[in-house]
């Protein structure tokens, strides 16, 4: 768990990266040497933007590839300007924007041979889920349980997000779980 002061630093960094993007069309550059150690550890993050309670952008990484502070800056910019579901954020939207940060634990495989086995192992409101079947891959953050509280619906909607039929199952399908620290 991050300290409250480091959570605040990351929230401010996310907002600063979006504001920087509005002016310079790129994420803010950060000096990792000035950051607390826990902000320089490689972590995977997602940044979710909402405007008046509605999704406005969500971008992230499933594997840790960058220092935490850098990942937040990059994903904040990408959520605002590169989410293909939405037009780039405009300056007029900034005041109505809510920024939600999720720091992911490393993903662990869920051994399962069927959808029923997968459902039995899922922990609603706790687990994020990744489904991977070759060219088809998608994830839902744990926060998605709020809108899809039944495990069967959670799994079926995630399959559709991955471009698979909701009743699809194959021996090649891999399921992974992760948790998030969200703020």
β pairing state of 97-104 and 180-182: antiparallel
Q: Is there a single domain that holds both residue 142 and residue 167?
A: yes
Q: Are 139 and 45 in contact (CB under 8 A)?
A: no
Helix axes 68-81, 4-24, angle to 10 degrees: 40
CATH number, position 30: 3.30.700.20
State pLDDT tens for residues 29-65. 999 999 999 999 999 999 999 999 999 999 999 999 9
Residue from 52, 44, 37, 118 nearest 74 by CA: 44
Q: Is there a single domain that holds both residue 114 and residue 171?
A: yes
Domain count, the chain: 2
What are 131's two structure tokens? 């489904």
Spatial distance between the Cα atoms of 111 and 106, rounded to a whole number of angstroms = 16
Predicted confidence at residue 8, as pLDDT, reads 97
Q: Mark which of 58, 84, 104 sits at the end of a domain.
A: 104
CATH number, position 170: 3.30.1490.150
Q: Domain range holding 23?
A: 4-104
State pLDDT tens for residues 81-137. 999 999 999 999 999 999 999 999 999 999 999 999 999 999 999 999 999 999 999
Q: Is there a single domain that holds both residue 138 and residue 50?
A: no
Q: Mark which of 46, 73, 104 sits at the end of a domain.
A: 104
Q: Is there a single domain that holds both residue 89 and residue 136?
A: no
Q: Is there a single domain that holds both residue 9 and residue 96?
A: yes
Q: Mark which of 104, 132, 164 sits at the end of a domain.
A: 104
Q: Is there a single domain that holds both residue 100 and residue 123?
A: no
Spatial distance between the Cα atoms of 77 and 82, rounded to a whole number of angstroms = 8
Q: Is there a single domain that holds both residue 58 and residue 148?
A: no
Sheet holding 180-182, edge to edge: 54-60, 44-51, 97-104, 180-182
Spatial distance between the Cα atoms of 21 and 116, rounded to a whole number of angstroms = 45
98 beta partners: 50
Q: pLDDT class for 149, splitting at 50, 70, 90? A: very high
State pLDDT tens for residues 67-81. 999 999 999 999 999
């Amino acid at each position: 768990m991050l300290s409250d002061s480091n959570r605040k630093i990351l929230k401010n960094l996310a907002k600063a990266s979006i504001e920087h993007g509005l002016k310079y069309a790129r994420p803010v550059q950060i000096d990792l040497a000035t950051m607390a150690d826990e902000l320089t550890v490689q972590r995977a993050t997602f940044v979710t933007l909402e405007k008046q309670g509605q999704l406005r952008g969500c971008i992230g990484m499933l594997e840790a590839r960058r220092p935490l502070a850098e990942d937040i800056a990059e994903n904040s910019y990408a959520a605002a300007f590169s989410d293909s579901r939405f037009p780039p954020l405009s300056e007029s939207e900034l005041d109505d924007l809510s920024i939600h940060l999720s720091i992911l634990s490393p993903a662990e495989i869920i051994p399962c041979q069927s959808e029923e086995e997968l459902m039995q192992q899922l922990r609603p409101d706790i687990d994020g889920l990744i489904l991977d079947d070759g060219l088809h891959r998608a994830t839902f953050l744990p926060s998605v349980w709020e809108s899809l509280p039944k495990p069967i619906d959670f799994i079926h909607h995630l399959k559709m997000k991955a471009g698979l039929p909701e009743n699809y199952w194959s021996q090649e399908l891999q399921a992974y779980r992760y948790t998030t620290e969200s703020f």
